[in-house]
Amino acid sequence: MAPKIDPTILKALLLDAADTSIASHGGSGFASTFKITSKDNEGEEKLFFVKQGKGKESQIMFAGEHASLNAIYSIVSSLCPRSYAHGLLSSTTGAFLATDFLNFSARSSSSPSSSYSGLSLAQKLARLHSTPAPIPDGYDKPMFGFPVPTCCGDTQQDNSFKSSWAEFYADNRLRHILKSAEKNNGKDSELSNLVERTTSVVVPRLLGNGNLKTSSGGDVVPVVVHGDLWSGNHGVGTIGKGGVEEVVFDPSCSYSHSEFEWGIMRMFGGFGGSFEREYYELKGKDEPIEEWDDRVKLYELYHHLNHYSIFGGGYRGGAVRIMEELVRKYGDGE
């Protein structure tokens, strides 16, 4: 039996049930996923991708993904699907997210349409990372954080705004994920002590305004980052009736230091040296350039801790190794 379309989704997307069908499509570790096919007033086909989840957690997750997709879309519209709606389902418990449909069956051999951007992934990401984040409501300048909580995996992230990047990364990312890891895996005095040494010594040393500068010598400015950009969240395909594009999906955005993106990109790889060279020809590395590798290790640390929180096991060892190395290097003379 074909799945039924929840009335709330039909209403949110302004679809006529008589002209609309839904079918299971793809997969997700945290949700059920579907393809919706409908028609507009002129009889043209309209396609949407829908996620449905259970519980309060799915409502938070989808609200964050909705805001994340549209934060990226507002800057580089060819980089990701647009999100149209999210909210609570009416026919069952849980929540939904409805976005443009991504067709991953398309390949670069297809004829490009007039809406094809012609931009590589490196060009798109460099543009995203070079555009200052919008000023949040109630503030007078861009802030580090995000308007809503987002989820990296199923970990809910604290995105409360801070003016200092070093403070945001120490408190909202490292100390916050330590609490999650200990909640899921038990108290861990060694891990806790290393995280505290890292946040109190290494983070201000590498990320503080007195040290970290842009290539032009100014303080780093918050930009939109995807937040979970590994090879499994990147692909090639078409969005709607557009041409074949390099696209990303399943974002966990924040207004952050642009180099934070490289933590998970380096952790899992899949982007290659040519991508990196093209990216940094367009967007120079921040200063001090000689500390770039250590900053990326520090950003990778968050994802080791997050994977340890979610999956346990060997990710703890990776986190400990990074912290011990950075504390040895930057903790002298404390």
pLDDT digit string (tens) for the chain, length 334 residues = 456 899 999 999 999 999 999 999 876 667 889 999 998 878 889 999 999 998 888 999 999 999 999 999 999 999 999 999 999 999 778 999 999 999 986 444 344 444 467 899 999 999 999 999 999 999 999 999 999 999 999 999 999 999 999 999 999 999 999 999 999 999 999 999 999 999 999 999 999 988 999 988 899 999 999 999 999 999 999 998 888 899 999 999 999 999 999 999 999 988 989 999 999 999 989 999 999 999 999 999 999 999 999 999 889 999 999 999 999 999 864 4
Of 64, 83, 104, which closes a domain?
104
- β-bridge partners, 21: 37
Structural domains in the chain (count): 2
Angle between helices 292-311 and 176-185 (to 10 degrees): 30
Taking the C-alpha atoms of residue 256 and residue 260, their distance in angstroms, rounded to an integer, is 7
Residue 248 lies in a domain: no
pLDDT at 28: 66
Cβ contacts of residue 176 below 8 Å, gap of 6+? 157, 158
Does 16 share its domain with 97? yes
- As given in the structure block, the two tokens for residue 3 are 């799945």
Please answer whether residues 84 and 99 qualify as being in contact, where contact means their C-beta atoms are separated by less than 8 angstroms. yes
Q: What is the CATH number of the domain that holds 98?
A: 3.30.200.20
Angle at 49 between CA 102 and CA 53, to 5 degrees: 135
- Tell which residue, 45, 44, 1, 46, has the closest CA to residue 23: 1
pLDDT at 92: 79
- The model carries a pTM of 0.94
Of 62, 84, 104, which closes a domain?
104
pLDDT at 215: 84
Q: What is the CATH number of the domain that holds 196?
A: 1.20.1270.240
pLDDT at 26: 74
Burial of 213 (0-12, 13-18, 19+ CB in 10 A): middle
Catalytic residue among 100, 228, 250, 286: 228
Cβ contacts of residue 44 below 8 Å, gap of 6+? none
Cβ contacts of residue 42 below 8 Å, gap of 6+? none
Burial of 219 (0-12, 13-18, 19+ CB in 10 A): exposed
Please answer whether residues 327 and 294 qualify as being in contact, where contact means their C-beta atoms are separated by less than 8 angstroms. no
pLDDT at 117: 74
Does 310 share its domain with 170? yes
Sign of the dihedral through C-alpha 13, 234, 57, 257: negative
Helices (H), the chain: 7-13, 55-73, 121-130, 165-168, 176-185, 189-197, 203-207, 261-268, 272-282, 292-311, 315-330
pLDDT at 105: 62
Of 60, 88, 104, which closes a domain?
104
Q: Classify 25 in phi/psi space as left (phi over 0), alpha (psi -120 to 50) or beta.
A: beta
Does 47 share its domain with 184? no
Does 195 share its domain with 78? no
Does 98 share its domain with 178? no
Residue 46 lies in a domain: yes
User: Does the annotation count 171 as an active-site position?
Assistant: no
Does 192 share its domain with 300? yes
